[in-house]
């Protein structure tokens, strides 16, 4: 399991996670997406610096981005969500949403490490936090949520599954390391 102590790194990680979210969501709504890009580079540079990086960070970031891309694209393709910022392909999640999933992955072993005590805890917290973040994004105009009850319920299920899986996969990766891939 991930380290769960409160450290300066976890505090910086948490603050940068929030700033990147604000940068991308407000940037998408107001056409200042570059702010999110700058903050993303700062966060990833900070978090992936060799002295702060957890051994599974790259794995978790990649898995989070892949799962998030599939899930966010499914919501978009189904017409439940429309993402702003002049994205030309409505059926595919825009890159800034995938970047937010990258940031979620970059926080998973650090400021969010405490939720890894249990896959169910991780799933529950994500099932609450994910839909709430989308509702906030809708309030500022970055997304439009159609059929809110259905969409937010499906989001809660999707976020639960992804966080549950990320917790299990991260734990397995940390136990077995890269040799796990040879056995899959």
119 located within any domain: yes
150 located within any domain: yes
2 located within any domain: no
How far apart, in whole angstroms, are the C-alpha atoms of residue 146 and residue 80?
Answer: 5
Query: 73-96 pLDDT, tens per residue?
Result: 999 999 999 987 667 788 899 999
Three-state secondary structure call for residue 82: strand
For the chain, what is the domain count?
Answer: 1
Instruction: Return all residues near 101 (Cβ < 8 A) that are at least 6 apart.
Output: 64, 65, 67, 68, 69, 72
Query: 29-71 pLDDT, tens per residue?
Result: 998 989 999 999 999 999 988 888 888 889 999 999 999 999 9
Residue 89 tokens, joined:
């392909």
Q: Report which secondary-structure segment, H or E, holds 176.
A: helix 148-176
Quote the domain boundaries for residue 17: 8-182
């Amino acid at each position: 399991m991930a380290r769960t102590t409160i450290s300066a790194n976890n505090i910086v990680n948490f603050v940068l996670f929030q700033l990147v979210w604000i940068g991308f969501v407000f940037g998408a709504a107001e056409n200042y997406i570059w702010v999110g890009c700058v903050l993303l580079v700062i966060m990833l540079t900070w978090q992936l610096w060799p002295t702060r990086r957890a051994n599974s960070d790259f794995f978790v970031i990649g898995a989070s981005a892949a799962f998030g891309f599939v899930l966010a694209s499914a919501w978009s393709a189904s017409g439940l969500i429309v993402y702003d910022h002049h994205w030309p392909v409505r059926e595919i999640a825009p890159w800034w949403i995938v970047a937010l999933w990258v940031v979620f992955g970059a926080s998973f072993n650090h400021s969010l490490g405490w939720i890894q005590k249990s896959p169910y805890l991780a799933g529950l917290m994500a099932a609450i936090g994910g839909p709430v973040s989308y509702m906030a994004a809708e309030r500022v105009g970055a997304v439009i949520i159609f059929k809110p009850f259905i969409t937010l319920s499906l989001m809660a299920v999707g976020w639960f599954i992804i966080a549950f899986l990320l917790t299990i996969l991260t734990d397995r990766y940390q136990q077995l390391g890269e040799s796990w891939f040879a056995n899959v």
